[in-house]
């Protein structure tokens, strides 16, 4: 609080202190027969037959008397009279109060605080008026309270501190108006953001500072500090960073890891912080012997041991232990063993740095869930929160399941804060699960611009609501206009269709392309409902139906007869059923440094449409980190096949290899091509296969620049047509390959990737592209 603010508060309450002194003086002097002895003064009784009140214009007499509580005609002591005075003064209604005894008459003279006419905030740019006014307890048309004004100023300062503006000051000022009214103005000096100038570590030997900085949510100030806000110093965020730093080490076997301290020091210029994490790493432990025992006579431990996927030699990871416990407890429920609990017992072997894990099957306490109470969700429906619990009222109480439910609720991203606690219910064998949530905004409206070497400049507008109508549904609308294209897309997702673990989605697309590297235009209208559900711990199966209308038009007269024939056919309707199986270990795998993604899907067309076909695609990608997590190795293999059951394949259904699949070549720059015509347009192919290998590594530049390097090598091809124009189109399989260097740049506008490449193996008619700029995608 500034000096001026303190002066303002002191001026407002100075009279209160003065009148308190006056009361004591009057109490000793005005009564007849009064003696200067303190004890006698305290014993002096008063009896008032009448009480008069002066100076109150807005506050009723009855209100003053209700605070004073002085009975007429009854004897009151000096201490009782002083207590009455304190009660009236403490009501906060009056700037000053006087109690003046005169015989059997008591005069209460007051000066009312003014009424607040309006409240304004001036000088604020980073926090709008609505957000600032929301933290004030002072309100227009209420009595001005100096203490409350001081607290309001402090609340606004705290709001600025959350944004990292530690130098912000707030000075309240009073502007007098007529009729004992005032305008309350909070003058704000925001100051600059206090950034994290340097984020460093002490005691880390296994992992470098640069690697650990990527783990933390707090970032040190970089060249995009005006856009990126995670480099702003926020003290509460550091506590969260301690947790995720511990999770990082523990998931890699460092069971003894500790964050000894987190120190933050102001720079000499007092405009930045230097944050230092002091850690103790310890040693990394692997899994030793894995056993399962049963302390329940009727339970066979061998049957549960077979369900454990944990194997000796793996790096110890608490998340993997918890997954094994959950798997065993689910098996117990299927067998009707409601109160079986799995107790993990760890034996430490310091000599060989292993941890023996013994899963003990024990009988848990017979405690049931009486009810699940949900509070704080003003918009979100109860069922959105409740369905994250795998248990219902009347089920056996499992603390681990309650903790996991809390994590699932947080993962929804709908709430700023989630607290789930259990307390004793109406009986000792019952518990009540209290779930308190604090909602946060879930809608967003975004406008942006993009550039891609394939699509050119693009303008995008998107609307997204992640909690549509409070049902936990997602509604997303995107409109994109490019130099040569226009795309409109609407997506709707219900994550819990029919009250079950079924993800229903509906996608509608309208797209037009007029790419400069082709001598034809395309149009696509598509509607695609789908439903997805888990089939294993890491596997999911999606079933879909696609109804689409596509056409090719504006084909140049110098283009291939195959394209001209497709234009003559006009638009065709496709109706297809499809399925996709996906397997993903990136989140639930045994090793946090490795992950595998596999997808296989097929679409079967001909259910009422104009084309009959089977279109198959497969995708396999794996990633691992080596050299203390500093270097990323990544490999991807994917392919597809389009088998026509009736007629020839069409351009919009065939496969093309763009720069995201095959670097070193221009968009539609390789594959079957009609060389007998002037335009030599690429025709795509019914089959494609490509393998991509790449590595990503630091370049030694300062971490705050967000720049890393990479090397890559691609090999693949696209081939095969149903109609090769009488042999004039060469659609044979020819392998192409390319190598290159990448620069990854994590900017405030998004992760960018610059590829510099050269083709090694190519055909004479292929078109190369030595540079492309794309948005970098995460594995």
Query: Is 22's pLDDT higher than 70?
Result: no
Question: What is the mean predicted confidence (pLDDT) over 272-281?
Answer: 90
511 in a structural domain? no
Q: E strand or H helix at 638, and its extent?
A: strand 631-646
Q: E strand or H helix at 302, and its extent?
A: helix 301-305
Structural domain containing residue 100: 3-112
Query: Is 271's pLDDT higher than 70?
Result: no
Whether 53 contacts 108, CB under 8 Å: yes
DSSP state of 35: -
What's residue 448's pLDDT? 67
Same domain for 664 and 547? yes
Domain edge (last residue) among 151, 169, 189 = 189
List, edge to edge, every strand of the sheet that includes 415-424: 368-375, 430-439, 415-424
Highest mean pLDDT among 16-20, 123-127, 135-139, 237-241: 135-139
Residue 278: pLDDT band (50, 70, 90) is very high
Question: What is the mean predicted confidence (pLDDT) over 461-490?
Answer: 89
Query: Is 709's pLDDT higher than 90?
Result: yes
Same domain for 721 and 626? yes
What's residue 640's pLDDT? 97
CA angle 90, 96, 101 (to 5 degrees): 90
Give the phi and the psi of residue 44 in degrees, each rounded to 5: -65, 120
Question: What is the mean predicted confidence (pLDDT) over 395-412?
Answer: 90
Coil, helix or strand for 594? strand
344-383 confidence digits (pLDDT tens): 999 999 999 999 999 999 998 889 999 999 999 989 999 9
Domain edge (last residue) among 363, 388, 420 = 363
CA atoms within 13 A on the CB side of 30: 18
What's residue 36's pLDDT? 29
Would you state the structure tokens that stand for residue 73, as one six-digit string? 């005609």
Query: Is 434's pLDDT higher than 90?
Result: yes
Would you state the structure tokens that stand for residue 663, as one six-digit string? 């670097």
Highest mean pLDDT among 168-182, 362-376, 514-528, 748-762: 362-376
446 in a structural domain? no
199-250 confidence digits (pLDDT tens): 899 999 999 888 898 888 888 776 554 444 556 767 778 888 999 999 999 9
178-211 confidence digits (pLDDT tens): 888 899 999 998 877 777 888 899 999 999 888 8
30-69 confidence digits (pLDDT tens): 333 333 233 334 456 888 888 999 988 888 888 888 998 8
Q: Residue 394, by phi and psi: left (phi above 0), alpha (psi -120 to 50) or beta?
A: left
Question: What is the mean predicted confidence (pLDDT) over 80-92?
Answer: 88
476 in a structural domain? no
The residues, any chain, with a CB within 8 Å of residue 563's CB and separated by 6 or more, are 520, 552, 555, 651, 681, 683
333-355 confidence digits (pLDDT tens): 888 888 899 999 999 999 999 99
DSSP state of 171: E
The residues, any chain, with a CB within 8 Å of residue 541's CB and separated by 6 or more, are 532, 533, 534, 535, 579, 580, 581, 582
Same domain for 703 and 598? yes
Give the Cα separation of 751 and 450 in Å (integer).
12
Burial code (b: 16+ CB inside 10 Å, e: under 16) for 453-468 equals: ebbeebeeeeebbbbb
Give the Cα separation of 319 and 537 in Å (integer).
14
Short-list 150, 15, 19, 144, CA closest to 92: 144
How close are the terminal C-alpha atoms of the chain, in Å? 49
Rg (CA), the chain: 37
What residues are paired with 738 via a beta bridge? 714, 759
85 in a structural domain? yes
Same domain for 604 and 712? yes
Would you state the structure tokens that stand for residue 389, as one six-digit string? 């619990």
Q: What is the DSSP string of 532-547?
A: EEESSSSEEEEEEEEE
Would you state the structure tokens that stand for residue 225, as one six-digit string? 């500090």
Same domain for 141 and 267? no
733-750 confidence digits (pLDDT tens): 999 999 999 999 887 666
722 in a structural domain? yes
473 in a structural domain? no
pTM (two decimals): 0.71
Same domain for 643 and 581? yes
Picking from 159-163, 355-359, 456-460, 588-592, which range would have the lowest pLDDT averaged per residue? 588-592
Same domain for 425 and 349? no
Whether 642 contacts 687, CB under 8 Å: yes
Residue 602: pLDDT band (50, 70, 90) is very high
Short-list 511, 579, 572, 494, CA closest to 545: 579
Same domain for 121 and 95? no
Same domain for 121 and 101? no
Strands (E), 17-162: 46-47, 50-54, 75-76, 94-102, 105-112, 115-122
Would you state the structure tokens that stand for residue 494, as one six-digit string? 């219900």
Whether 114 contacts 180, CB under 8 Å: yes
Same domain for 585 and 724? yes
500 in a structural domain? no
Short-list 187, 139, 190, CA closest to 162: 190
Question: What is the mean predicted confidence (pLDDT) over 702-720?
Answer: 90
Where residue 653 sits, what CATH number does that domain have? 2.40.160.50
Query: Is 24's pLDDT higher than 60?
Result: no
502 in a structural domain? no
Task: Kindly tell me the sign of the dihedral angle through the C-alpha atoms of 701, 704, 705, 709.
Answer: positive
Question: What is the mean predicted confidence (pLDDT) over 275-286?
Answer: 94
Q: Residue 265, by phi and psi: left (phi above 0), alpha (psi -120 to 50) or beta?
A: beta
Where residue 316 sits, what CATH number does that domain have? 3.10.20.310
What's residue 777's pLDDT? 53
The residue count for the chain: 779
**Domain count within the chain:** 6
Same domain for 244 and 298? no
Whether 672 contacts 729, CB under 8 Å: yes
> Quick one: how far is CA 370 from the chain centroid?
32
Query: Is 25's pLDDT higher than 50?
Result: no
Residue 454: pLDDT band (50, 70, 90) is low
Coil, helix or strand for 38? helix
Question: What is the mean predicted confidence (pLDDT) over 655-684?
Answer: 88
Same domain for 66 and 106? yes
Share of the chain above pLDDT 90, in %: 45
Burial code (b: 16+ CB inside 10 Å, e: under 16) for 696-724 equals: bbeeeeebbebbbebebbbbbbbbbbeeb
Domain edge (last residue) among 112, 144, 162 = 112
Give the Cα separation of 441 and 65 in Å (integer).
47
Question: What is the mean predicted confidence (pLDDT) over 64-89?
Answer: 88
The residues, any chain, with a CB within 8 Å of residue 225's CB and separated by 6 or more, are 195, 231
């Amino acid at each position: 609080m500034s000096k001026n603010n303190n002066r303002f508060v002191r001026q407002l309450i100075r009279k209160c202190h003065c009148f308190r002194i006056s009361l004591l003086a009057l109490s000793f002097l005005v009564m007849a027969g009064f003696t200067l002895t303190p004890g006698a003064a305290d014993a002096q009784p008063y009896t008032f037959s009448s009480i008069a009140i002066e100076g109150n214009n807005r506050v009723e007499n009855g209100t003053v008397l209700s605070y004073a509580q002085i009975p007429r005609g009854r004897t009151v002591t000096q201490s009782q009279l002083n207590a009455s005075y304190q009660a009236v003064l403490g009501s906060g209604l009056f700037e000053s109060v006087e109690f003046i005894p005169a015989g059997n008459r008591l005069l209460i003279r007051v000066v009312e605080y003014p009424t607040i006419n309006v409240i304004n905030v001036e000088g604020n740019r980073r926090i709008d008026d609505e957000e600032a006014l929301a933290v004030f307890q002072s309100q227009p048309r209420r009595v001005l309270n100096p203490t409350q004004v001081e607290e309001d100023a402090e609340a606004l300062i705290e709001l600025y501190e959350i944004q990292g503006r530690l130098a912000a000051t707030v000075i309240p000022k009073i502007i007098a108006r007529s009729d004992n009214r005032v305008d309350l103005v909070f003058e704000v000096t925001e100051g600059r953001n206090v950034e994290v100038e340097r984020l460093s570590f002490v005691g880390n030997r296994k992992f470098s500072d640069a690697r650990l900085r990527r783990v933390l949510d707090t970032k040190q100030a970089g060249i995009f500090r005006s856009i990126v806000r995670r480099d702003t110093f926020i003290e509460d965020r550091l506590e969260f960073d301690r947790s995720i730093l511990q999770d990082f080490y523990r998931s890699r076997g460092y069971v003894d890891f500790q964050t000894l301290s987190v120190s933050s020091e102001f720079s000499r210029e007092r405009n930045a912080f230097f944050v230092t994490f002091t850690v103790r790493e310890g040693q990394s432990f692997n899994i030793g012997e894995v056993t399962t025992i049963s302390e329940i006579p009727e339970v066979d431990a061998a049957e549960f041991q077979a369900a454990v996927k944990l194997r000796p030699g793996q790096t110890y990871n608490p998340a993997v232990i918890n997954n094994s416990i959950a798997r065993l407890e689910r098996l117990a429920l299927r067998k009707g063993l409601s109160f079986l609990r799995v107790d993990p017992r760890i034996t430490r072997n310091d000599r060989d740095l292993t941890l023996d894990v013994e899963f003990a099957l024990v009988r848990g306490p017979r405690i049931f869930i009486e009810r699940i109470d949900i509070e704080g969700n003003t918009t979100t429906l109860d069922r959105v929160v409740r369905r994250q619990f795998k248990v219902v009222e009347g089920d056996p109480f499992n603390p681990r399941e309650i903790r996991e439910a809390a994590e699932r609720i947080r993962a929804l991203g709908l709430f700023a804060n989630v607290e789930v606690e259990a307390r004793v219910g109406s009986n000792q064998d019952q518990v009540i699960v209290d779930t308190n949530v604090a909602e946060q905004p879930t809608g967003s409206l975004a406008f942006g611009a993009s550039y891609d070497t394939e699509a050119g400049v693009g303008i995008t507008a998107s609307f997204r609501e992640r909690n549509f109508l409070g049902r936990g549904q997602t509604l997303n609308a995107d409109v994109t206009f490019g130099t040569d294209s226009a795309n409109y897309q609407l997506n709707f997702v219900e994550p819990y269709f029919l009250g079950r673990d079924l993800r229903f989605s509906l996608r509608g697309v309208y797209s037009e392309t007029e790419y400069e590297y082709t001598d034809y235009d395309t149009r696509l209208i598509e509607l695609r409902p789908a439903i997805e559900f888990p089939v294993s711990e890491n596997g999911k199966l999606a079933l879909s139906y696609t109804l689409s209308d596509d056409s090719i038009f504006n084909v140049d007269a110098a283009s291939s007869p195959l394209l001209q024939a497709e234009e003559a056919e006009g638009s065709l309707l496709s109706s297809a059923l499809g399925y996709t199986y996906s397997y993903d270990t990136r989140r639930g795998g045994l090793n946090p440094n490795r992950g595998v993604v596999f997808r296989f899907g097929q679409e079967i067309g001909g259910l009422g449409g104009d084309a009959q076909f089977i279109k198959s695609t497969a995708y396999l990608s794996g990633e691992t980190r080596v050299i203390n997590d500093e270097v990323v190795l990544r490999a991807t293999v994917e392919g597809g096949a389009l088998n026509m059951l009736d007629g020839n394949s069409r351009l919009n259904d065939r496969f093309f290899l763009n720069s995201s699949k095959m670097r070193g070549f221009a968009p539609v720059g390789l594959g079957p091509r009609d060389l007998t015509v002037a335009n030599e347009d690429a025709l795509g192919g019914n089959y494609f296969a490509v393998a991509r290998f790449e590595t990503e590594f630091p370049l030694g530049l300062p971490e705050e620049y967000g720049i890393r390097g990479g090397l890559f090598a691609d090999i693949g091809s696209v081939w095969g047509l149903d109609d090769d124009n009488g042999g004039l189109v060469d659609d044979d399989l020819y392998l192409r390959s390319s190598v290159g260097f990448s620069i990854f740049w994590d900017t405030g506008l998004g992760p960018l990737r610059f590829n510099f490449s050269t083709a090694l193996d190519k055909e004479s008619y292929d078109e190369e592209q030595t540079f492309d700029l794309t948005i970098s995608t995460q594995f």
